[in-house]
Amino acid sequence: MPDSPLLIVENLVKHFPLNSSLLDLLLRREPDVVRAVDGVSFSLARGEVLAIVGESGCGKTTIARTLIGLEEETDGTILFGGQRIGTHERRLRAGLIPLEAGAVGTREQQTLPRMSLKHLRQHAQMIFQDPYESLNPRATIFEIVAEPLVVHGLLRKREERIARVKSALEDAGLRPAEDYFLRYPHELSGGQRQRVVIAGAMVLEPELLIADEPVSMLDVSIRAEILNLLKELQKKRGVGIVFITHDLGTVAYFADRLAVMYLGRIVESGPTAEVLRNPQHPYTKALLSVVPVPNPRLRRERIILQGETPNPLNLPGGCRFHPRCPVAVAACKQSDPAYIRVAEGHETACLLVQPA
Amino acid sequence: MNESWLLFKRSLSDFWRIFRRNRMGMTGAVLVLAAVMVAVIAPALSPYTPATVIRDEAGRGLTFAPPSVHGPLGTDDAGRDVWTQLVYGARISLTVGFMAGFIAMFVGSLLGILAGYFGGWLDNLLMRVTDVLLVIPDLPLMLVLVATLRQMELKVSPLTVLILVIGLLYWTSTARLVRSQVLSIKERQFVARARAIGAGHFHIIRKHILPQIMPLIVANTVLILSTAILIESGLAFLGLGDPTQPSWGTMLNFAFDRNAISNGAWWFYLPPGLAIVWVSLGCVLLGNVLEEMLNPRLMGHHLEGEARVVKTEAGRG
Amino acid sequence: MAESALLRVCNLNTEFIIPDKGPARALEDVSFEVHPGETLGLVGESGCGKTTALMSILRLLPSNARISGQVFFKDVDLFGLSEKQMRAYRWRELAIVFQGAMNALNPVMRVGEQIREAITLHGLMSSSEAEMRVGELLELVGIPKERGAQYPFQYSGGMRQRAMIAMALACSPSVLFADEPTTALDVMVQAQVLELLNDIQQRLGLAIVLVTHDLGVVAEMCDTVVVMYGGKVAEYGPVDVIFNDPQHPYTQKLLESFPDLNEPTDPSTDSRQVLASIPGAPPRLTEIPPGCRFEPRCHVRIEKCKTESPPLMDVGENHLAACHLLK
C-alpha cells in the first residue's frame, strides 16, 4: 500500500452470543454464538471507496456498525489513522474483559471510555440505509445537521454554526439551504432526506464515511443523484468511503475496490473492474451471473445457487461455501481455504483457484 | 430563540386546526376547562364561604333547604350552602387530582425512560415493582396507607398525604407505557445515528427519546388526572379527606353520614357526584383524543405524503 | 395489437377521494393488453400507480376509490359484473401474489392447510382431491411435499414467497399478477423466484403481469413493458424496443440512471462517468401538474408540455409513447 492507509482492519471477529438458559449456565455449557463476522481483514486508503458486497446475513452491516463503535468487536484489530480504536484491546488492558462474552445486552456500559469513541466519531461518520428512519421526526433539519457540532462542542458561535450547516446542506445539494433550516423530515422526499443525512455526516468534515446501503430504499431515478453526490464528496474532500451494499450494479459504478462477503468472511477482494471482469471465486461468479441487467439482449446463462445462505449459527466445516458450491470437490469439506493472490491486489479464498 | 418560538407557534396552530374539528376532544376540553374556571373564580360565584351557615329570620340554621327555598342547590344538614361547597370543593378535588396526577406522571415517565433506555437490573427491578403494585388491590392499600400516615402526625396537611399516596402509587401504568415506547424508539435508526455521531446518553434521551414520547406522556397525564380525581373522591367518601377543606368526595361522605338520602335531599349528594363525573369524563374524552391525535402513526393519509417503497433487501448484511 | 388478448384494460381511471384534499388521480387513461403466455411488465417508481392499476383491475380497492374505464377478460367486462360474479373470476382466472405477500401467511396455520383453504374456498374440489392438489402445487414451486405440514416460521423468505405463488396457482388461473414478487429478497433468492416464475409460465402457459420498480428484472423476464409515470402510461412496447430504443425522455433517463455492471469504472484511467439522474421527485397525486406529468423533471421540455398533457402516440410497431416531442 502506498502511504499509510486510513483504516486497517485485521482479523475482525464479531460473535453474538445467544441468550443462554439457566441450565446452560449451571452445566457450564458454552453459549451458542452467531458468527456474524468471522475473521475479516481489509484496509482502506485515504480517499478510496471500498465496497463490501454480500447477501443479507453475510455480516456486512455488522462490520459497519462495529467500525463506528455501535457494536463492540469480539476480537481483532481496527486501526484508524494509525491509532487503535477497538474496544477489545483497551478493555483487555484495563482488565475489563469479562470471562465470557455473555453481557452484550449492556454494551452501552461497556464501550470505550467516551473520549476516544468521541474522537473516532469526529473523524468517521455513518450514513444509514433508511432515510425515513434515520432522521428524528421531531427535529428540524437545522437541528439535525447541527447536532454533531453540538455533541462535539464545536463552533460554539451561532453565526459559525449557521454558516457551517448552510455549507454542509448546500454541498449536499439542498439549495438554498435556508429554506430547509426550519423544515421537518416528513416535509421532504426520500432523496432530500438522504441528502440531509449526508449533510449531517459531512458537517464534521470526516475522513471516513461508512455508508450502509445508502440508496437501496430510494427510487431508481433518485438513486443516481445520491450516488453522484457521494462520489463528488469523495473526489472533492478526499473522504474514504466504506460502501456496504448488496447491489453489484452500484458497486461497478461507485467503488475502487470490492470485497465480496459470504457468511462472515471475505471470499474475494480486489480492484472493482478486475474482480467484475475476472471473478475467481465460484460465489462471486454466481452472484455476478444473477444480477439482473437492464438489457434484454444480454439475457445470460445464470448460475443459480440452490437453497439459501445457511444460518451463521452452525457453520459448515471446511470451506463455508462448499454445501452450495456448484464446483465443490471432496477437499472443500475438509480444509478452510486460505487467500490466494490472483493478480495485483486481487485475492480469493478458494481451493480450486491457482495462484498467479 | 426566535425561530424555535415560530416553530412552536406553527405546530401549536397546526394542532389547534385539527383539534378544533374534533367534537369529542372539544367536549372534553370544555368540560375540563369549565371545571378549572369554576375552581379559580370560586369566590366570585358565591357570596358565602363553605362554612357559612344560612339562617332563617328566626336565626335557626336553614337545614336541608331544597333549591326552591334557598340558592341554586339548597343547603345541607347544618344549613350551609351546597353550591358554595361545590364550587370551593372543585378547588380541593382538582388540586389533589392534578398534583397527584403530575407526580404520578413525573415519576412514571422518569422511571420508564431510565428502565427502557438503560435496561439491565434497573429495568428488572422496576418491572417487578410494577408487577407487585399491579396485583395489590389499590383501594385497600391506600386506605391503610393514608390512615397510618394520618396516625403518625407528620405535621403535613391531610391533603398532602393524599396527594403523595395517590401520586406515588399510580405511576406504574405510565412507567410501563413509557418504557415500552422507549424500548422501541431506542432501536430506531435515528437513535443509532445519534450514537454514531458520538452523542451521550443524556443528549440522546433529551433530544431524541423525550420529544417522541412527550405526546404520549401528555395524553397519559390527562387520563391519569381523571383516575386521580376518582381515587381522591373514593378516599374522601370513605372519610379520609380533610374535613376542614371539603372536596367533592368529602361532600358525598357528609351527605351519606347525615342521612341526606333518607331525607330526600338529592341536592346535597347529586351535585358533587355529577361534578366528579363531569371532570373525569372531560379528562377521559380529552385524553383519548390527544392520544389519538398525537400518535404520529395515526396521522395523515398514505396518499398525501410520499408513499415509501421498500426496496430490495431490508435486513442487515 | 393482436385481437386475441386475454386481458384488455381500456382507459382505466382511478381516483381516491381524500377528505379535505380533493381527489387524488392515481390512474389516468391507462390502457394495455395481456396475451396468453405473455409476461407483461408494469414498471415505474413508487407512487406511479402500478399497484393501483392491479388493484383496480381486480376491483380490490378501498371504498374511497372511484374507478372508470373498462377491463375485458376474454370479452367479459369485469367492471360490469356484480361483486359476486367478480369473485368467481378472482383467483380462478386472475390470481395475484401481493406485495410483501410472504409476510401474509397465517403464522399459526400449516402452510399446506393454507393452500388447501385457497382451493376449497372456491368449492372446486373435494377435500381429498384438494389434498392431492396441494402436494402437486408445492412440488410445482419446488417445495418438497412433506414441508406442507410445516408452519411459516420454519420457511425461509424465499420459500414463503414460493408458497404464496403456489397458493396463487391453486385454481389454475389464466393470468397471474405478481406485485413486486422479489422485492426484499436477496439477489440469489430473487433469481430463484424469477426462474420459478419462468418455469411455471412455460409449463402452464399462463400470462404473467409483473409489477416492479426494477428495470433489470423487467429486462430479464418480460416480453412487453408498460412504463408508468405519475399515474399515466409513459411508454408501452416490446421489451427489446423499450430498452434499446426508448422514445419517452423518462424511459431514456431511467435507463441511463441505472449503473451498468458490464462497464465498471476503472480507477486507473479515472474516466469516471457521471450517472444520469432525474432531478426532483415524482408528483404527488394530489398536486398533479396540468400538462405532462413529467414536465417538471424533464430535460427536453417545451412550452407546450406545461399546459397540454400529451396523448399516447404510435412511434413504431406495437410501440406507443406519450410525449409532445415525438411525431
pLDDT tens track for B136-160: 888 888 888 888 888 887 777 888 8
Q: Looking at mean pLDDT, say which of A273-287, B287-301, C111-125 comes out highest.
A: A273-287
d(CA B203, CA A313) in angstroms, rounded, equals: 36
Residue C235 forms beta bridges with which residues? C227, C321
In this complex, the residue of C18, C26, C185 whose CB is nearest that of residue B301 is C18
Average pLDDT, chain A: 83
Q: Are A155 and A149 in contact (CB under 8 A)?
A: yes
Element (H, E) at C305: helix C303-307
A103 pLDDT more than 70:
no
Q: What is the mean predicted confidence (pLDDT) over A214-219?
A: 85
Q: Among candidates A5, A2, A1, A3, which has minimal Cα distance to A240?
A: A5
B11 pLDDT more than 80:
no
Q: How far is CA A75 from CA A89, A289, A298, B314, B316, in A?
A: 8, 34, 44, 27, 21
Q: What is the mean predicted confidence (pLDDT) over C66-76?
A: 90
pLDDT band at A100 (very low <50, low <70, confident <90, very high): very low
pLDDT of the residue at C263: 66
Q: Hey, are the CB atoms on C47 and B313 less than 8 Å from each other?
A: no
Question: How many structural domains comprise chain A?
Answer: 1
Q: How far is CA B35 from CA A353, B51, B282, C249, in A?
A: 84, 21, 9, 65
B303 pLDDT more than 60:
no
Q: Among candidates C258, C255, C257, which has minimal Cα distance to C243?
A: C255
Exposure on the CB side of residue B198, measured as CA atoms within 13 A:
26
A109 pLDDT more than 70:
no
Cα-Cα-Cα-Cα torsion A141, A144, A150, A152, nearest 10 degrees, comes to -140
Residue by residue, DSSP assigns C241-274 as HHHHS--SHHHHHHHHTSPPTTS---TTTT--PP
> Has residue B82 been placed in a domain?
yes
In this complex, the residue of B195, B198, B207 whose CB is nearest that of residue A152 is B198
pLDDT band at B312 (very low <50, low <70, confident <90, very high): very low
Q: Hey, are the CB atoms on C183 and B303 less than 8 Å from each other?
A: no
Q: Which of B303, B306, B311, B313 to mutate to test the interface with C (most CBs of C within 10 A)?
A: B303
Q: B122 to chain A: nearest residue by CA?
A: A106
Angle between helices B248-257 and B266-294 (to 10 degrees): 150
The DSSP 8-state label assigned to residue C295 in this structure reads G
Residue by residue, DSSP assigns C30-62 as EEEEE-TT-EEEEE--TTSSHHHHHHHHTT---
d(CA C72, CA A255) in angstroms, rounded, equals: 49
pLDDT of the residue at C229: 92
pLDDT of the residue at B55: 79
Lowest mean pLDDT among C59-73, C87-101, C254-268: C254-268
Rounded to 5°, the CA angle C48-C49-C52 comes to 160
Q: Which of C50, C52, C183, C228 to mutate to test the interface with B (most CBs of B within 10 A)?
A: C183
Q: Among candidates B179, B247, B284, which has minimal Cα distance to B42?
A: B247
Q: Is the ipTM of this complex over 0.95?
A: no
> Has residue B29 been placed in a domain?
no
Q: What is the mean predicted confidence (pLDDT) over B292-298?
A: 63
Q: Are A269 and A42 in contact (CB under 8 A)?
A: yes
Burial of B10 per CB tally in 10 Å (0-12, 13-18, 19+): exposed
Rounded to 5°, the CA angle B34-B52-B31 comes to 10
- The grid coordinates listed for B314 are 431490508
d(CA C139, CA C146) in angstroms, rounded, equals: 10
Neighbouring residues of A253: CB distance < 8 A, sequence distance ≥ 6: A227, C259, C260, C264, C265, C273, C275
Q: Hey, are the CB atoms on C195 and A306 less than 8 Å from each other?
A: no
The residue written with cell numbers 383516575 in the block is: B227
Q: Which chain C residues contact residue B313 at CB under 8 A?
A: 184-186
Residue B264 belongs to what domain range? 42-48+70-295
Domain of B188, CATH number, reads: 1.10.3720.10
A91 pLDDT more than 70:
no
Average pLDDT, chain C: 86
> Has residue A354 been placed in a domain?
no
Taking only the tens place, the pLDDT of each residue in A288-329 is: 888 888 888 877 788 888 877 777 777 888 898 998 899 989
pLDDT of the residue at A168: 93
pLDDT of the residue at A117: 67
Taking only the tens place, the pLDDT of each residue in B74-109 is: 787 777 888 888 899 899 999 999 999 999 999 999
**Helix or strand or coil: residue A40?**
strand
d(CA B169, CA A104) in angstroms, rounded, equals: 34
Q: Among candidates B187, B294, B94, which has minimal Cα distance to A133?
A: B187
pLDDT band at C281 (very low <50, low <70, confident <90, very high): confident
- Identify residue C19 by its one-letter amino acid code: P
Taking only the tens place, the pLDDT of each residue in A144-199 is: 999 999 988 888 888 999 999 999 999 998 888 888 988 888 888 888 999 999 99
d(CA A227, CA B47) in angstroms, rounded, equals: 77
d(CA B232, CA B230) in angstroms, rounded, equals: 5
Q: Hey, are the CB atoms on B317 and A58 less than 8 Å from each other?
A: yes
Rounded to 5°, the CA angle C98-C217-C292 comes to 85
The residue written with cell numbers 461497556 in the block is: A110
The fraction of chain A above a pLDDT of 90, given in percent, is 31
The DSSP 8-state label assigned to residue A316 in this structure reads P
Alpha helix (H) residue ranges in B157-261: 158-169, 172-186, 189-197, 201-204, 210-235, 248-257
Q: Looking at mean pLDDT, say which of A30-34, B198-202, C271-275 comes out highest.
A: B198-202
Q: Which of C190, C220, C298 to mutate to test the interface with A (most CBs of A within 10 A)?
A: C220
A116 pLDDT more than 60:
yes
Q: What is the mean predicted confidence (pLDDT) over C277-300?
A: 84
CA of A150 vs chain C CAs: smallest distance (Å): 31
Taking only the tens place, the pLDDT of each residue in A23-63 is: 766 776 677 788 889 899 999 999 899 999 998 888 899 99
The fraction of chain B above a pLDDT of 70, given in percent, is 91
pLDDT band at A142 (very low <50, low <70, confident <90, very high): very high
Domain of A29, CATH number, reads: 3.40.50.300
Q: B117 to chain A: nearest residue by CA?
A: A108
Q: Among candidates B63, B99, B106, B101, which has minimal Cα distance to B82?
A: B63
Q: Are C188 and C19 in contact (CB under 8 A)?
A: no
d(CA A179, CA A174) in angstroms, rounded, equals: 9
pLDDT band at B135 (very low <50, low <70, confident <90, very high): confident
Q: Are C277 and C297 in contact (CB under 8 A)?
A: no
> Has residue B60 been placed in a domain?
no
Exposure on the CB side of residue C43, measured as CA atoms within 13 A:
32
The residue written with cell numbers 384438494 in the block is: C130
Q: Which of A188, A217, A219, A258 to mutate to test the interface with C (most CBs of C within 10 A)?
A: A219
C106 pLDDT more than 60:
yes
Higher-pLDDT residue of C287 and A3 is C287
- The grid coordinates listed for A292 are 439482473
Burial of B61 per CB tally in 10 Å (0-12, 13-18, 19+): middle
> Has residue A2 been placed in a domain?
no
SS3 content of chain C, % helix, strand, coil (to 5): 35, 25, 40
Pairs of CB atoms within 8 A across B/C: 39
pLDDT of the residue at B295: 63
> Has residue B11 been placed in a domain?
no
pLDDT of the residue at A346: 93
**Edge-first strand listing for the sheet containing C224-229:** C94-97, C175-179, C207-212, C39-43, C224-229, C232-238, C319-321, C313-316
Question: How many structural domains comprise chain B?
Answer: 1
> Has residue B146 been placed in a domain?
yes
In this complex, the residue of C218, C265, C281 whose CB is nearest that of residue A253 is C265
Q: Which chain C residues contact residue A254 at CB under 8 A?
A: 259, 265
The DSSP 8-state label assigned to residue A106 in this structure reads G
Query: Which chains border A (3 or more CB–CB pairs < 8 Å)?
Result: B, C
d(CA C15, CA C24) in angstroms, rounded, equals: 5
d(CA A49, CA A208) in angstroms, rounded, equals: 10
> Has residue B24 been placed in a domain?
no
pLDDT of the residue at A106: 38
Q: What is the mean predicted confidence (pLDDT) over B190-213?
A: 89
The residue written with cell numbers 431515478 in the block is: A221
The DSSP 8-state label assigned to residue B126 in this structure reads H
Q: What is the mean predicted confidence (pLDDT) over A76-101?
A: 61
Neighbouring residues of B315: CB distance < 8 A, sequence distance ≥ 6: A56, A57
- The grid coordinates listed for C50 are 402500478
> Has residue A253 been placed in a domain?
yes
Residue A319 belongs to what domain range? 7-348
pLDDT band at C3 (very low <50, low <70, confident <90, very high): low
Q: Looking at mean pLDDT, say which of A2-6, A349-353, B294-298, C128-132 comes out highest.
A: A349-353
Q: How far is CA A190 from CA A179, A198, A288, C275, in A?
A: 17, 12, 29, 19
Q: Hey, are the CB atoms on C18 and B314 less than 8 Å from each other?
A: no
pLDDT band at B34 (very low <50, low <70, confident <90, very high): very high
